Amino acid sequence: MGVARPQERKGWVNDLYNNLSVSGVAVINVAGTISNQGRFDNLMVGGCAAMPTTHEDRHPHNQTKFWGLGTEVVQNDVTLFGLAKVAEWLDLLYTDCRPPRHIYLLCSNSSALQGIMKVASYDNQRSVLLFHRALTSLCSHHRDVGITLTWSPVCREQAQDSTVRLKALTACKITPCALLNRVQSAAYQKQDTRRRAFLKWAEEWHTEWHKWLGRDSFAYQYTLSEPPNGSNHPLWKATMDKTDGIPFFSRHTTTTALRLAVCHAFISDYMRHF
């Protein structure tokens, strides 16, 4: 459920809590924070907490769960981590018992709710994959359970909201001082390697360009006039030009022209062919 007007969504959340006794659903409030409160080392540490509420829970605060993430984190990291840990906890909690027919996950961070759905994202892949893996396991055992991610604005007058934020602060006090490892995925590694490869290639281009400075170099003067940046060469882009759906130049012609342009060919033989 996407972002709505805060007052309308607060009213909807209040109605959801008030009707738990007859609706048979569960509501889990998820919150994350970054704080140095109560720490002797004065480090800013991330912590998150979750509080489930059902019609069977007479004392929902007793079931509050909280986890610590570590230092060098931002708010989005903490909230994504909290959503992932809630999914993992639900999978363990309902391994041998039947869950409610529908579960609502309330969170005040709309970007985290959207980010947790993007499996191919380069950021926070550990949390994203944990979230999806846990929900896959849960739904494989209970195929009829429904789960809805819901944006809910901060409502400090609500006992569940204030309690879960207090527990998130508690998690900041006990979590170890561990740095978040952001290099978490093969996709991130591939992107970073590609970026560094082009930086290295550009350094080599500048070195060769200075060698040919003031000398007659057809390749560096007309063809490779700029350092590599990952985009295709204009000659190579010419292969995409089409007339009535048919390429204007053949791939063989364009490839041969590119070899001639960079002087990486047997020039006399290609000239005779042309």
Which tokens sit at 2?
């996407």
Instruction: List Cα–Cα distances, 92 to 63, 88, 96, 139, in angstroms.
Output: 14, 6, 9, 12
- For residue 136, what pLDDT is reported? 93
CA distance 9 to 268: 75
Look at residue 7 and give its three-state secondary structure.
Answer: helix
Query: For the chain, how far is it from start to end, CA to CA, in angstroms?
Result: 63
What letter would DSSP give residue 79? H
- For residue 182, what pLDDT is reported? 52
- For residue 130, what pLDDT is reported? 92
- 160 within 8 A of 49, measured Cβ to Cβ: no
Which tokens sit at 61?
């605060």
Domain ranges of the chain: 6-174, 186-273
**pLDDT tens digits, residue range 168-199?**
988 888 766 555 555 455 666 777 788 889 88
Those residues of the chain that have pLDDT short of 50 are 57-61, 183
Q: Which amino acid is located at 133 in the chain?
A: R
Instruction: List Cα–Cα distances, 266 to 93, 220, 225, 251, in angstroms.
Output: 71, 18, 22, 19
- Give the CA count within 13 Å in the CB-facing half-sphere of 96: 0
CA distance 48 to 79: 7
Look at residue 263 and give its three-state secondary structure.
Answer: coil
Question: What count of other Cβ atoms lies within 10 Å of the Cβ of residue 102?
Answer: 15
- For residue 179, what pLDDT is reported? 53
- For residue 82, what pLDDT is reported? 93
- For residue 59, what pLDDT is reported? 41
Q: Per CATH, the architecture of 6-174 is what?
A: 2-Layer Sandwich (3.30)
